[in-house]
Amino acid sequence: MRTAVAVLRKDLLVELRTFETVPAMALFALTTFVIFHFGLGRATLSGQLAAGVLTVSVLFSGMLGINRLFVTEREQGGFDAFLLAPVDRTSLLLAKAAALFTFLVVLELIAVPAFGLLLLGPSLGPALPGLALVLLLADLGIAVIGTLVSAIAVHTRARDLIGPVVGLPLLIPALIAMARGTAAPLAANGAASVPLKWLEVLALYDVVFALLAYAVFDFLLED
């Protein structure tokens, strides 16, 4: 646990010093909103359409973070150093997933208000509690799967390709729940509460893949 905190602290510190990943993710999300505005030919969105646009934007921006997650470890020898240290290897999974989760939350703190300002028809305020709940649960799933996929992809030749190609289908159940779950709070005729079944699907997804990632992560580090 102490190792995980140390690695997480290192990652956040690096991000704070370089501002390499999160600002790029946020800019990417904003650009995606602009593209959706022109692509859909709509000035405002609501309901399922708004939920879909938000989901896709968050997901694709998240992909940027997922691709970058282990790059420094590989390029600067972080992996070797970590393997040399007498620490539990799972703590790297924990630290990286926590870092990715933090990145995603910060991204959403920027992207969701921007979405409310630029594209959303109904007002954002009443939608926020439901939206936050779904997004947090979805972030957990994206963080776990993202870390796993990133750890696989970073050792492949075409890592920028393999990450999204493997990650996207794996994330589909979470994305279905996220897109359907956020539709209710973003509805045109006033925010409704999130249907319970989508929260359950997200929670189930998070738990299953967290346990699975915990079980298999060791095998990605052996060398």
Of 12 and 152, the one with the shorter C-beta distance to other proteins is 152
Longest dimension (CA), the chain: 58
Of 110 and 176, the one with the shorter C-beta distance to other proteins is 176
In angstroms, rounded to a whole number, what is the distance separating the alpha carbons of residues 181 and 197? 9
In angstroms, rounded to a whole number, what is the distance separating the alpha carbons of residues 166 and 148? 10
Instruction: Quote the least distance from Cβ 51 to other proteins, whole Å.
Output: 12
Instruction: Quote the least distance from Cβ 210 to other proteins, whole Å.
Output: 12
Of 85 and 216, the one with the shorter C-beta distance to other proteins is 216
Q: Which residues contact 220 (CB under 8 A, 6 or more apart)?
A: 148, 151, 152, 155
Residue 126 is given by DSSP the state: G
Residue 85 phi, psi dihedral angles, 5° rounding = -70, 140
Instruction: Quote the least distance from Cβ 131 to other proteins, whole Å.
Output: 19
Binding site for other proteins (CB under 8 A): 148, 152, 155-159, 161-162, 165-166, 169-170, 172-174, 176-177, 180, 197-198, 201, 204-205, 208-209, 212-213, 216, 219-220, 222-223
Instruction: Quote the least distance from Cβ 94 to other proteins, whole Å.
Output: 17
Q: Which residues contact 143 (CB under 8 A, 6 or more apart)?
A: 97, 98, 100, 101, 104
Of 139 and 206, the one with the shorter C-beta distance to other proteins is 206
